[in-house]
């Protein structure tokens, strides 16, 4: 069986495995002996193509006066439909100095809805919201503030560095209400707040991909591997890594991907593609360049080490004197050209990233509308393969987090057993009018760690930062997503009833 | 979607001939822009055999303002044209603002005045093919005990839908009338009386339109001298979205005193909700913030929120204050 996926609009998680719908299409094709086109309706998409895991989490926690976590208890219920659901650990990232103070229990609650699949950083988003909300609340109670309570419970200095950078970029220093919500509304009846949250992800690679890099007699350069582009730029870096090895511009190389007959590749999930694939492309390109140098050296009567590829030419490796153009060099090849295979090289990939984000929001006290004004994302990813793509991925993560922070919700009617809003009128997604100023920052301090995937961590902390910013603005602690006007208004009413600020 | 026959009458007379008897009401449906009707058909909420397309009727898309300032809006006039008409925006800003607040540019380019006023409810249960609710001939309004964040806080029971039209509250506040034609006759009635509460009429319908009638046009009387008006809509999302609550407000203020006021709420009741007690309270009161606050409290004093929509009380009150403040500053 061969799978062909030339282009995919975006793969955010309704994947892994064929699913009943894919199975039905395959069986129909076998039966009919004809191609079958499977197209789900929007409702099917919501009901049978894999969902995101839900979670209900109860947290009890205590801190010392300086904000150090001393006791932490979490009771986690995962909601994964007919599957177990996902939750990635408690506490998430933060650590207790004395683990004796930690207790947690996890169980799955099963419903008749479709199983959760690997959607949008499964488990992390849920785990982030619980700990980031609890810790934030304690930060205000202890009087140490939103930034310091986090640093106080993080031993990894990378987080300190990234939180400081996010704080600087969001304008924390000059922010007037650091230790308590804004007291009086501005003239427009709004209050403004800032919130923080952090993330982590593995993103490491593994041995799986087989890449072939081939140079043709006509000067063509091709990297072939049976991977796919989920819409995140795989095609670009596969070509770029090969082109770079031969001193050629990106346009000179072709990535042949999107077909399983092109050779083994890893499953596109867990943000592991870049770290699994890029080293193998590099290895294949390196091997092919070596082979080409050896071939050319014979003809030129020199040693292979004396030759290098630079600026579209074959040059002397010391001094850089041009010996022949790329085209001339390739013309010396036989009709089969030259090619070499490559495999994953552990020394070219790393594992484990951090991430810190900050959000600035404005809350309209009359309507409960939350407007996100600005988001900052600081993200390490080892060696960034393509800065524009990394920044774009960070923006995309922040945008999706904003969207489910403010709007997205599958409304499940338990009495009737129906999803009430399986369409894009009632399942609301943020549009261009909700977009804030976005500041994507690549943290390059640890660039030497090799390639690490950074797709999913970008989506993990945004909603938590927004929730914390809402509290910082108006004193309403929202404990469930999405943060819609009704919840904000209910929260403000409760505050007013308890004698809090209006 | 079930296959249907498309009828395209060339004149009003022909169209009226084709309208069904009450018993065939579900078999023959009038279509204008189709922005609501087609979604109902795709979801199989309705499965008509025939669609009666009004788009060939001459003059049905007119927008006229006579010398005295009286306005006529044809039923087939698009929402975009209502939103963009400079003369209308000058004399009756609330109508243009309401039209502009509806859906998206694409939908406004196709959706019509008649279709907007006659669109069906957006209640989750009504729209879900799997929920056989009161509005679809079932025995129960599921929103009463179920998910009711978007449902009614005023005038609810036995159905708790809210009327989704933005144009309706604005037009009611402007004192508009609708003209309904049927074979051999026509009738004119205030738009306010066109809509019926579920407890007063047939819970399957929102209006008094007969199966053999078409809404041909809307008439808005020239506003009184000094009348200022606005339509304030609050929605959860910036791009296309229905109102969580909206306010159509009009005022005549002389020497700092309110002479007359109109206040109609959208998104909170099964009909555009005229806040008559608040209107009466406002007449003769000083035009100042304390007055607006009190009027807002009066307008919502009869609210009976359901489990998830108490927020609509404060939201509507705040919007009312905001609307009157906007009209007087
Ligand atoms: C995504 C989306 C967002 C929307 N957001 C809003 C919003 O924010 N505010 C808002 O007010 N609306 C909103 N709408 C509704 C939209 O405005 C209406 O669907 C549209 O105005 C209907 O006009 P139409 O001409 O397309 O009507 P059609 O779909 O053709 O008809 C709608 C109904 O009216 C009846 N009808 C039409 N013309 C007449 C007539 N002359 N006489 C008697 N009956 C008639 C039809 O039989 C049908 O039942 C939204 C719709 C969508 C799909």
Residues A54-203+350-497, CATH architecture: 2-Layer Sandwich (3.30)
Ligand 1: lining residues by beta carbon, under 6 Å: A 425; B 29-37, 39, 54, 75, 79, 102-103, 107, 110-112, 114-116, 118-119, 164-166, 209, 214-215, 240, 242
Residue B13 CA to residue B21 CA, distance in Å, equals 16
- Report the chain A residue with the minimal C-alpha distance to residue B131: A416
**Ligand 1: which atom is nearest the Cα of residue B35?**
26
Residue A406 CA to residue B179 CA, distance in Å, equals 42
Burial label for A355, CB within 10 Å (0-12, 13-18, 19+), is buried
Contact B220, B171 (CB under 8 A): yes
Model ipTM over 0.85: yes
Helix ranges (H only) for B61-180 are: 79-84, 86-91, 93-100, 105-110, 113-118, 124-127, 167-173
Judged against a pLDDT cut of 50, whether residue A502 lies above it is answered with no
Pick from A231, A217, A407: nearest CA to A295: A217
Residue A138 CA to residue B130 CA, distance in Å, equals 45
Out of B130, B240, B315, closest to residue A368 by CB: B315
Rg value, chain B, Cα? 19
pLDDT tens readout for residues A362-382: 999 999 999 999 999 999 999
Taking residues A300-320, report their average pLDDT: 96
Residue A210 CA to residue A227 CA, distance in Å, equals 10
- Residues in chain B, overall count: 329
Domains of chain B: 228-327 (3.30.390.50)
Chain B residues within 8 A of A487 when measuring between CB atoms? 311
Contact B228, B29 (CB under 8 A): no
At residue A269 the predicted structure's pLDDT band, cuts being 50, 70 and 90, is confident
- Ligand 1 center from residue B36 Cα (angstroms): 5
Residue B48 CA to residue B105 CA, distance in Å, equals 28
State whether A366 and B318 contact (CB < 8 Å).
yes
Taking residues A212-218, report their average pLDDT: 98
Burial label for B239, CB within 10 Å (0-12, 13-18, 19+), is middle
Contact A30, A22 (CB under 8 A): no
Nearest CA to ligand 1 atom 36: B115
Contact A491, A311 (CB under 8 A): no
CA-to-CA dists, residue A353 to A16, A170, A382, A393, A497, angstroms: 23, 22, 8, 14, 44
The SS3 assignment for B219 reads strand
Q: How far is B195 from chain A (nearest CA, A)?
A: 25
Taking residues A422-444, report their average pLDDT: 96
State whether A485 and B322 contact (CB < 8 Å).
no
Residues of chain A above pLDDT 70, percent: 99
The SS3 assignment for B322 reads helix
Judged against a pLDDT cut of 60, whether residue A259 lies above it is answered with yes
Nearest CA to ligand 1 atom 27: B115
pLDDT tens readout for residues A65-88: 999 999 999 999 999 999 999 999
Residue A163 CA to residue A197 CA, distance in Å, equals 8
Residue A450 CA to residue A22 CA, distance in Å, equals 36
pLDDT tens readout for residues A29-39: 999 999 999 99
Position A500 scores a pLDDT of 61
HSE of A190, CA atoms in CB hemisphere, 13 A: 14
Interface of A with B (CB under 8 A): 366-369, 406-407, 411, 413, 415-416, 418, 420-421, 425-426, 428, 430-434, 484-487, 489-490, 492-493
Q: In whole numbers, what is the pLDDT of chain A averaged over residues?
A: 95
Residues of chain B under the 50 pLDDT cut: none
* CA B304 to chain CA mean position, Å: 21
State whether A486 and B244 contact (CB < 8 Å).
yes
The hierarchical CATH code for the domain A210-347 is: 3.30.365.10
Residues 6+ away with beta carbon under 8 Å from B307: B145, B148
Judged against a pLDDT cut of 70, whether residue A501 lies above it is answered with no
Q: How far is B125 from chain A (nearest CA, A)?
A: 7
Q: How far is A421 from chain B (nearest CA, A)?
A: 7
Chain A residues within 8 A of B124 when measuring between CB atoms? 411, 413, 420-421, 426
pLDDT tens readout for residues A150-163: 999 999 999 999 99
- Ligand 1 center from residue B204 Cα (angstroms): 17
Backbone angles phi, psi at B176, to 5 degrees: -70, 155
Out of B149, B234, B238, closest to residue A367 by CB: B234
Work out how many CB contacts closer than 8 A connect A with B: 81
Helix ranges (H only) for A263-355 are: 273-300, 326-331
Q: What is the DSSP string of A334-395?
A: -TT-EEEEE---GGGB---B--EEEEEEEEETTT--EEEEEEEEEEE-BS-S-HHHHHHHHH
- Report the chain A residue with the minimal C-alpha distance to residue B315: A367
pLDDT tens readout for residues A418-427: 999 999 999 9
- Indicate the top mutation candidate among B107, B167, B206, B243 to test ligand 1's pocket, ranked by most ligand atoms within 8 A of CB: B107
Q: Which residue has the higher pLDDT, A6 or A386?
A: A386
- Ligand 1 center from residue A310 Cα (angstroms): 64
Pick from A396, A376, A390, A379: nearest CA to A12: A396
CATH 3.30.365.10 residue window(s) in chain A:
54-203+350-497, 210-347
Nearest CA to ligand 1 atom 25: B33
Interface of B with A (CB under 8 A): 122, 124-125, 127-128, 130-131, 142, 145-147, 149, 234, 236-241, 244, 308-312, 314-315, 318-319, 321-322
């Amino acid at each position: 069986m061969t799978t062909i996926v030339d282009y995919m609009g975006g793969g955010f998680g309704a994947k892994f495995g064929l699913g009943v719908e894919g199975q039905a299409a395959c069986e129909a094709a076998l039966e009919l002996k004809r191609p079958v086109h499977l197209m789900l309706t929007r409702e099917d998409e919501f009901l049978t193509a894999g969902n995101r895991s839900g979670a209900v989490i109860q947290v009890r926690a205590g801190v010392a006066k300086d904000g150090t976590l001393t006791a932490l208890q979490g009771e986690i219920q995962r909601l994964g439909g007919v599957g177990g659901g996902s939750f990635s650990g408690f506490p998430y990232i933060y650590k207790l100095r004395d683990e004796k103070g930690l207790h947690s229990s996890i169980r799955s609650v099963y419903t008749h809805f479709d199983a959760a699949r690997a959607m949008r950083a499964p488990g992390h988003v849920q785990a982030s919201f619980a700990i980031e909300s609890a810790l934030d609340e304690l930060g205000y109670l202890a009087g140490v503030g939103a930034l310091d309570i986090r640093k106080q419970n993080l031993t990894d200095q990378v987080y300190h560095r990234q939180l400081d950078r996010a704080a600087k970029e969001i304008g924390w220093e000059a922010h007037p209400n650091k230790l308590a919500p804004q007291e009086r509304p501005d003239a427009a009846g709004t209050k403004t707040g800032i919130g923080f949250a952090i993330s982590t992800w593995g993103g490491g690679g593994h041995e799986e991909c087989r890449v072939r890099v081939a140079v043709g007699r006509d000067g063509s350069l091709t990297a072939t591997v049976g991977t796919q582009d989920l819409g995140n730029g795989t095609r670009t870096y596969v070509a770029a890594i090969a082109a770079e090895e031969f001193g050629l511009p990106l346009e000179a190389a072709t990535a042949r991907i999107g077909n399983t007959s092109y050779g083994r590749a890893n499953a596109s999930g867990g943000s592991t593609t870049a770290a699994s694939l890029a080293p193998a492309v590099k290895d294949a390109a390196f091997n092919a360049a070596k082979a080409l140098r050896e071939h050319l050296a014979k003809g030129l009567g020199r040693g292979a080490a004396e030759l290098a590829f630079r600026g579209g030419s074959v040059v002397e490796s010391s001094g850089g004197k041009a010996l022949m153009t790329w085209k001339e060099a390739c013309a010396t090849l036989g009709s089969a050209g030259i090619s070499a295979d490559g495999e994953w090289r552990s020394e070219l990939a790393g594992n484990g990233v951090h991430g810190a984000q900050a959000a600035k929001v404005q809350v309209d006290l009359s309507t409960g509308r939350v407007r996100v004004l600005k988001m900052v994302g600081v993200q390490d990813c080892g060696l960034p393969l393509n800065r524009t793509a990394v920044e774009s991925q960070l923006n995309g993560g922040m945008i999706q987090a904003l969207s489910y922070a403010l709007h997205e919700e599958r409304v499940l009617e338990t009495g009737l057993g129906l999803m009430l809003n399986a369409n894009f009128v009632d399942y609301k997604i943020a549009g261009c009018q909700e977009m804030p100023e976005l500041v994507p920052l690549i943290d390059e301090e640890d660039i030497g760690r090799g390639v690490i995937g950074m797709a999913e961590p970008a989506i993990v902390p945004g909603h938590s930062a927004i929730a914390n910013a809402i509290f910082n603005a108006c004193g309403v602690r929202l404990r469930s997503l999405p943060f819609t006007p009704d919840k904000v208004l209910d929260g403000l009413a409760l505050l007013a009833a308890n004698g809090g600020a209006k | 979607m079930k296959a249907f026959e498309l009828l395209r009458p060339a004149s009003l007379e022909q169209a009226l001939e084709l309208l069904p008897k009450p018993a065939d009401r579900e078999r023959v449906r009038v279509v204008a822009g189709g922005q609501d009707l087609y979604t109902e058909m795709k979801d199989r909420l309705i499965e008509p055999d025939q669609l009666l397309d009004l788009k060939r009727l001459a003059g049905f898309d007119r927008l006229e303002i006579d010398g005295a300032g009286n306005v006529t809006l044809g039923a087939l006039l698009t929402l975009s044209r209502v939103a963009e008409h400079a003369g209308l925006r000058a004399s009756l800003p609330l109508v243009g603002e309401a039209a502009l607040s509806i859906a998206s540019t694409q939908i406004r380019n196709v959706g019509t005045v008649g279709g907007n006023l006659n669109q069906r409810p957006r209640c989750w249960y009504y729209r879900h093919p799997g929920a056989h609710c009161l509005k679809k001939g079932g025995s129960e309004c599921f929103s009463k005990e179920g998910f009711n964040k978007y449902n009614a806080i005023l005038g609810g029971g036995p159905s708790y839908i809210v009327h989704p039209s933005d144009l309706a509250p604005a037009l009611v506040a402007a004192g508009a009338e609708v003209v309904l034609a049927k074979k051999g006759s026509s009738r004119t009635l205030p738009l306010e009386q066109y809509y019926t509460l579920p407890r007063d009429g047939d819970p399957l319908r929102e209006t008094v339109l007969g199966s053999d009638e078409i809404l041909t046009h809307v008439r808005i009387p020239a506003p009184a001298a000094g009348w200022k008006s606005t339509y304030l809509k609050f929605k959860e999302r910036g791009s296309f979205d229905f109102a969580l609550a909206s306010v159509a407000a009009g005022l005549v203020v002389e020497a700092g005193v309110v002479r007359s006021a109109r206040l109609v709420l959208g998104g909170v009741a099964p009909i555009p909700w005229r806040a008559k007690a608040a209107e009466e309270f406002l007449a003769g009161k000083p035009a100042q913030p304390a007055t607006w606050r009190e009027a807002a409290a009066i307008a919502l004093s009869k609210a009976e929120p359901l489990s998830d929509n108490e927020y609509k009380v404060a939201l509507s009150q705040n919007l009312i204050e905001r609307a009157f403040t906007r009209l007087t500053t």
